[in-house]
Amino acid sequence: MITTNNKYNYYFYISLFTIVLILLFKADSSLSISYKEALNVFVNNSVLSIISKLSIAFFGQNDIALRLPFITFYTLSVLLMYRLTENYFRYEKDRFIAICIFMILPGVISASLLVNSAIMVIFFTLLYLYLYEKNSKHSYMLLIFFLFVDNSFAILYLALFFYSFKNQDKKLMYFSMIFFVLSMYIYGFATEGKPRGFLVDTFAIYATVFSPLLFIYFIYSLYRAGIKDERTLTWYISITAMILSIIFSFRQRIFIEDFGPYVVIALPFMLKTFFHSYRVRLKEFRQPYNIAAILILLMLIINVVLTFINKPLYLVLGNPTKHFVYQYHFAKELSEELRKRDINEITCLDKELQLRLKFYNITEGEKYFISTRPYYNYDEKIVIRYYNKELLDVYVKKINQ
């Protein structure tokens, strides 16, 4: 148990508080609702949708309310990870470094800002691991609950099956397999489309989630633990998700929100391996590790900065739609421009844009017609710019005189 006079304890809470403030600011000022997020608010009835709608009902229909539940899941996930690593590292400094890297992983940061299931899965998986560590037994009630939360928990059930098989835990083996089959029955498995190889894409996505060099060392640490028989429950969860994602990539493009959460939870495991390898060497033989650590941290910081401050990238992109968060931009600004012109009811051929604008109280109606494509008799052209770079052209025509 960490004592209250431990300076790293204070550093951790200050760091977490700072990052949460940045996330709240980012949610309010820089992001617009995407089409998939709008579907969760207005169309879908999943657990994700229910959480989003409840937050909006309590805090109003705004961007902070939309993203607040996921920032909350992020905060709770970090706190759980901090508790899980309480007796994991030899030095408290190592634990602080590990939790800081976990907090700023690009994949974790992104999941906390977007309306998707990834950060929920991270939280519930860490909760399961925490209860397992605390009580030394598996929570079957949580496993039942997971059946109704998200389809990706099938990966957790499969990992628990492999773990129970190794430890000859017949009860867990039977239940995990039953839960896996039920999950597959409830949600199914997407196999549509022409089989294509997406292995390179999968590795590129993982490199984005972790940062490239960190991901390379992550793979090494999982491999090293496997051959040295250092296979913990966390290792089984992460390696199962990793191998499954690679296997599926030979046939189809994977959804990283299904696999990524189970991979990132093994970050402390990887860093413990790194710290051990670093300290068993004499100082004169540590230089390669120092260089690797500096490069990894540098790339991680660059990725984090681009996650938070990415609009200037439009200045160097010939096609704005190639921006990696284009789908989360411009809708809020467009709604503000429409309201400046007293336009609150529109008809739009782009139904995705129509649904996004609905979140900002630009409803569907027959007063005005807007289009993102030019036509000969439009009344006005609205241009959305970031840093004076044209992002979107919208053409407006009054149709209800």
Contact (Cβ atoms closer than 8 angstroms) between residue 189 and residue 248:
no
pLDDT cut 70: percent of the chain above it: 96
Q: What is the pLDDT of residue 196?
A: 63
- 141 and 228 co-located in one domain: yes
- 202 and 280 co-located in one domain: yes
More confident residue, 107 or 80: 80
What are the angstrom distances between the C-alpha of 233 and each of 6, 92, 182, 210, 262? Answer: 29, 23, 22, 21, 11
Mean pLDDT, residues 395-400: 85
Q: Model confidence over 321-346: pLDDT tens digits?
A: 888 888 999 999 999 999 999 999 99
Q: What is the pLDDT of residue 279?
A: 82
Q: Is the dihedral of CA 241, 246, 249, 251 positive or negative?
A: negative
- 237 and 294 co-located in one domain: yes
What is the number of domains present in the chain?
A: 2
Given pLDDT bands bounded at 50, 70 and 90, which one contains residue 208?
A: confident
Q: Tokens for 100, please give them.
A: 């800081």
The string of DSSP letters for 56-86 reads HHHH-SSHHHHHHHHHHHHHHHHHHHHHHTT
- 74 and 173 co-located in one domain: yes
Query: Taking 60 as the threshold, does the pLDDT of residue 192 lie above it?
Result: no
Least confident of 5-14, 24-33, 182-191, 293-302: 182-191
Domain end point (choices 254, 283, 309): 309
Given pLDDT bands bounded at 50, 70 and 90, which one contains residue 167?
A: confident
Q: Tokens for 226, please give them.
A: 């496997």
* Highest mean pLDDT, choosing among 28-32, 210-214, 332-336: 332-336
Q: Model confidence over 358-395: pLDDT tens digits?
A: 999 999 888 899 998 888 888 899 999 998 888 889 99
Q: What is the pLDDT of residue 288?
A: 83
252 within domain boundaries: yes
pTM (two decimals): 0.91
314 within domain boundaries: no
| CA separation for the pair 103, 107 (Å, rounded) | 10
Q: Model confidence over 283-323: pLDDT tens digits?
A: 777 888 888 888 888 888 888 888 888 888 888 888 888 88
- 299 and 356 co-located in one domain: no
| CA separation for the pair 162, 215 (Å, rounded) | 24
- 121 and 255 co-located in one domain: yes
190 φ/ψ sector (left φ>0, alpha ψ -120 to 50, else beta): beta
- 276 and 367 co-located in one domain: no
52 within domain boundaries: no
Q: What is the pLDDT of residue 300?
A: 85
- 113 and 208 co-located in one domain: yes
Q: What is the pLDDT of residue 1?
A: 40
Nearest Cα to 95, choosing from 12, 215, 209? 12
Residue 283: Cβ-neighbour burial (10 angstroms; 0-12, 13-18, 19+): exposed
44 within domain boundaries: no
Domain end point (choices 277, 309, 341): 309
More confident residue, 116 or 76: 76
- 368 and 219 co-located in one domain: no
Q: In the chain, what's the furthest Cα-to-Cα distance?
A: 82
Q: What is the pLDDT of residue 191?
A: 52
268 within domain boundaries: yes
Contacts of range 51-57, beta carbons closer than 8 Å, 24 or more positions apart: 51/120, 52/115
Domain end point (choices 309, 334, 349): 309
- 257 and 335 co-located in one domain: no
The string of DSSP letters for 141-169 reads HHHHHHTTT-TTHHHHHHHHHHHHHHHT-
| CA separation for the pair 44, 50 (Å, rounded) | 9
3-state secondary structure of 370: strand
| CA separation for the pair 145, 315 (Å, rounded) | 46
78 within domain boundaries: yes
State the chain's mean pLDDT as an integer: 88
Contact (Cβ atoms closer than 8 angstroms) between residue 347 and residue 400:
no
Token pair 């090293």: residue: 224
Query: Taking 50 as the threshold, does the pLDDT of residue 3 lie above it?
Result: no
Contact residues for 282 (Cβ-Cβ < 8 A; gap 6+): none
- 301 and 365 co-located in one domain: no
Given pLDDT bands bounded at 50, 70 and 90, which one contains residue 4?
A: very low
40 within domain boundaries: no
User: Cα 89 to the chain's mean position, in Å?
Assistant: 26
315 within domain boundaries: no
| CA separation for the pair 256, 114 (Å, rounded) | 13
Query: Whole domain around residue 384: which residue ranges?
Result: 326-398
Contact residues for 59 (Cβ-Cβ < 8 A; gap 6+): 65, 68
Q: What is the pLDDT of residue 63?
A: 94
- 369 and 222 co-located in one domain: no
Query: Taking 80 as the threshold, does the pLDDT of residue 189 lie above it?
Result: no
User: Cα 13 to the chain's mean position, in Å?
Assistant: 22
